[in-house]
A and B are shown apart, each in its own frame.
Chain A
Amino acid sequence: MSQNTDDALIKAKNLTKKYRDFTAVDSINFGISNGECFGLLGPNGAGKTTTIKMIQCVLPLTAGALMVAGMDVTKRSREIKAMIGIAPQEDNLDPDFTVVYNLVVYARYFDIPKTESLARAGQLLKFMQLEEKRDVLIGNLSSGMKRRVILMRALINQPQILILDEPTTGLDPQARHLIWDKIKRLKKQGVTIVLTTHYMEEAAHLCDRMLIMDNGKIIEEGNPETLVKKHVGEEVLEVAYDEKVMDYLKSSFPEAKLEIVNDRIQVFSSQPRGLFTEILDKFSFKGAILRNANLEDTFLKLTGRRLRE
């Protein structure tokens, strides 16, 4: 399924991770090019975090190969880790230190001297608009600010690859947009970004290319727009559920794909625009919506609606 993996910055071949009899990542292949923003999407338990933990050299592979910048993750973990910046899902900032001291201590693990790390911390505080919080203890920050500090910490070693594991989960829209803006700016500076998310809006907004994973396997790969067109078409018609409407749709448009979601009928068809006016004419009720098909439709279509625990 992968494309031009030969000159890829990150390259996985039959990458597999098993825990006893559970297969978390099941022989996947992918390549991530230098400078792109690459998304890993999938429901909970799909294998996204497991995959990125193998890229960051903290989880041993069960089988297959994984190369980062031409280096084998099982052999040259220190060099790989030195060129990667990681913003994990969990908040693992040091609660005993202030914002700036978190950065200085973290930089020390990369052998960055204090004068240099203080200078970089100053730039990052400015970049993340957190200059006022420089000397505040981590415990006194909001969750949105903590995410920004985690992102700053991931940048302290000036990484070539930035790994973001659900960077905006639990944030309010303001904080989310700020983080998106910063990610886009980093991408412009040439940083390769690997991102996991289950917000489709986020993936569509940021990613050049993405994988959709489920049960440890890759089920689709490509550019977000292309994937939407391929699997759900351009537009979706939504109508409140009504038996008459349903019967009418079934008999008149046998080729249209219909789905009932939360008391609404979703119609995926090649010409939903024509359908839209017809339904409005025939039934004259409000609440029929014609909207652009989005990544969320694609995602749900590919991974199903079953709840994942």
Chain B
Amino acid sequence: MNEKAYVISIFNLPKLSYRMWLVWRRNFDVFMKTYLVNFIPPLVEPLFYLVGLGYGLGGFVQPQEGLRYIAFIAPALVAVSMMYSSFFECTYASFIRMYYQKTFNAIIATPVNLEEVIAGEILWGATKSFINSSIMLVVVLIFGLITSPLFLLIPPLSFLIGILFASIAMCFTAIIPNIDSFNYPSFLYITPMFILSGTFFTITGLPQPIQIFAKIFFPLTHAVALSRALALGRINSSLLFNLGWILIAAPVFFIAAINLMKRRLIK
């Protein structure tokens, strides 16, 4: 295969059917069997950020974009939970199912095909984004940090954003040699994204090149902007760029993830 054909083949349209939801359902069933383990940590961890940074650090910080610091970071933490939950679901958890438990091998021996297995995994990653960020949203709501009914759009948006992060994660899962290698995307991509996406300070405070870099390569920038706008009812035209970026990137990475995984698993 020449180089051009190789690149094009990454964007072949996958053959999908309702069967991808059977794979989703398997993961959902496992989740429900251990729901206590699954619900408590995503609730507790962002609470520390909210309380520690919002109240603790917030005392030293001047208002950002005319908001109290805690109100500024709260919707961003909702977006962060979308990223973490879907990204880690489709890196470590998917890798364990693929490599250690051989779950994918078991499923593709049935009428479900590999494309549907990967699509089901990504849809499940997106569902984790929805679940975890919704839990966080309720917490933020209880803290009285949401001022617009538009926040109701955040849960459906979390699913879309979850598809994007889960698909990016699955691309890493497809090319990584072993589970320890996830340290690279985790520390070199997710951590800087967590810090530099307008989460804890406005992105406009950063040097121009970093701002541009963040807008191109950090989907969290767009997720934070949308989440903050909806939570506070601050709608403006730049949100179209944020939403457009996600709407284009999500299907591109979704399709690439499926084809890269096929390349890994079907020799």
Set B33, B101, B110, B266: member contacting A60, Cβ < 8 A: B266
B106 at the interface (CB under 8 A from A): yes
Contact of B234 with A by CB under 8 A: no
Q: Say whether A97 contacts B29, CB under 8 Å.
A: yes
B106 contacts A108, C-beta separation under 8 Å:
no
- Given A92-B101, A95-B101, A109-B19, check contact A78 B111 (CB 8 Å): yes
B224 → chain A closest CB, angstroms: 34
Residue in A94, A96, A97, A109 whose CB lies within 8 Å of B112: A109
Q: How far apart sit A82 and B33, CA to CA, in the bound complex (Å)?
A: 28
Is A105 among interface residues, defined by CB-CB distance under 8 A? yes
Contact B113 A108 (CB under 8 A): no
| Cα A59 to Cα B34 with chains together (Å) | 35
- Tell me if A217 is interfacial: C-beta within 8 Å of chain B: no
Q: Is A132 an interface residue (CB 8 A)?
A: no
Count residues of B near A (Cβ-Cβ below 8 Å): 22
Taking a contact as CB atoms closer than 8 A, the residue among A19, A56, A81, A92 that contacts B267 in the complex is A19
A86 at the B interface (CB under 8 A): yes
User: Beta-carbon contacts of B74-116 to A below 8 Å, as 1s and 0s?
Assistant: 0000000000000000000000000001110111111111000
User: How far apart are A188's CB and chain B's nearest CB, in angstroms?
Assistant: 25
For the complex, what is the distance from the CA of A56 to the CA of B22, rounded to whole Å? 20
A109 adjacent to B107 (CB under 8 Å): yes
A88 interface residue per 8 A CB criterion:
yes
Q: Are B22 and A88 in contact (CB under 8 A)?
A: no
Closest residue to B102 on the A side, CB-wise?
Answer: A92
**In contact, A93 and B106 (Cβ under 8 angstroms):** yes
Cβ–Cβ < 8 Å partners of B30 in chain A: 94, 96-97
Nearest CB in chain A: distance from B132 CB, A: 19
B22 adjacent to A109 (CB under 8 Å): yes
Taking a contact as CB atoms under 8 Å apart, the answer to whether B111 and A86 are in contact is: no
Interchain CA distance A197-B87 in the complex, whole Å = 41
A109 touching B111 by the CB < 8 A rule? yes
State A94–B34 Cα separation when bound (angstroms).
14
Cβ–Cβ < 8 Å partners of B109 in chain A = 56, 58, 81, 84, 86, 88
Asked if residues A110 and B110 are in contact (CB atoms below 8 Å), the reply is yes
Whether a CB of chain B sits under 8 angstroms from the CB of A106 is yes
B45-74 at interface with A (beta carbon < 8 Å): none
Contacts of B29 in A (CB 8 A): 97, 101, 105
**A56: chain B residues within 8 A (beta carbon):** 109
Q: Is the CB of A96 within 8 A of B25?
A: no
B263 part of interface (Cβ distance < 8 Å)? no
> By the criterion CB–CB under 8 Å, are B113 and A92 in contact?
no
Q: Are A59 and B111 in contact (CB under 8 A)?
A: no
Is there an interface contact between B267 and A106, defined as CB atoms closer than 8 Å? no
Contacts of A59 in B (CB 8 A): 266-267
Query: Do the beta carbons of B111 and A81 come within 8 Å of each other?
Result: yes
Q: Which of the residues A82, A84, A106 comes within 8 Å of B106, measured between beta carbons?
A: A106
In the complex, which residues of chain A have a beta carbon less than 8 angstroms from the beta carbon of B19?
A: 109
B94 nearest CB across to chain A (Å): 14
Which residues on A sit within 8 Å (CB–CB) of B105? 58, 88, 90, 92
Q: Which of A98-127 contact B (CB under 8 A)?
A: 101, 105-106, 108-111
Shortest B23–chain A CB gap in Å is 8
A77 sits at the interface (CB 8 A): yes
CA distance A294 to B112 in the complex (A): 42
- Interface contact A81-B102, CB-CB below 8 Å: no
**Option from B25, B103, B267 in Cβ contact (under 8 Å) with A108:** B25
Residues of B within 8 A of A108 (CB): 22, 25-26
A78 engages B266 (CB within 8 Å) = no
Q: Which residues between 100 and 137 of chain B lie within 8 Å of chain A, taking CB atoms? A: 101-103, 105-113
When distances are taken between beta carbons in the complex, the residues of chain A under 8 Å from B33 are 96-97
- A203-232: which have CB < 8 Å to B? none
Please name all residues of chain A whose beta carbon is closer than 8 Å to the beta carbon of B113 when the two chains form the complex.
77-78
Closest to A91 in B: B102
Q: B155 to nearest A CB, angstroms?
A: 26
- Taking CB atoms, residues of chain B closer than 8 Å to A19 are 267
| In the bound complex, CA of A96 to CA of B111 (Å) | 22
Q: Which residues does chain A contribute within 8 Å of B110, judged by CB atoms?
A: 81-82, 106, 109-110, 157
CB distance from A134 to the nearest CB of B (A): 16
Q: Is the beta-carbon distance between A110 and B111 smaller than 8 angstroms?
A: yes
Closest to A79 in B: B111
Also in contact, A94 and B101, with CB within 8 A (given A86-B109, A108-B22): yes
Q: Specify which chain B residues have a CB less than 8 angstroms from the CB of A82 in the assembled complex.
A: 110-111
Q: List 21 A-B contacts (CB under 8 A).
A: A58-B108, A58-B266, A78-B111, A78-B113, A81-B110, A82-B110, A84-B109, A88-B109, A90-B105, A92-B106, A93-B106, A94-B26, A94-B30, A96-B33, A105-B26, A108-B25, A109-B110, A109-B111, A110-B110, A110-B111, A111-B111
Give the A-binding residues of B (Cβ under 8 A).
19, 22, 25-26, 29-30, 33-34, 101-103, 105-113, 266-267
Identify the 4 closest CB pairs spanning chains A and B, nearest first. Answer: A92-B102, A109-B110, A92-B106, A96-B30
User: Known pairs A78-B111, A108-B22. 13 more at Cβ < 8 A?
Assistant: A79-B111, A88-B106, A91-B102, A92-B103, A92-B105, A92-B106, A94-B101, A97-B29, A97-B30, A105-B26, A109-B110, A109-B112, A110-B111
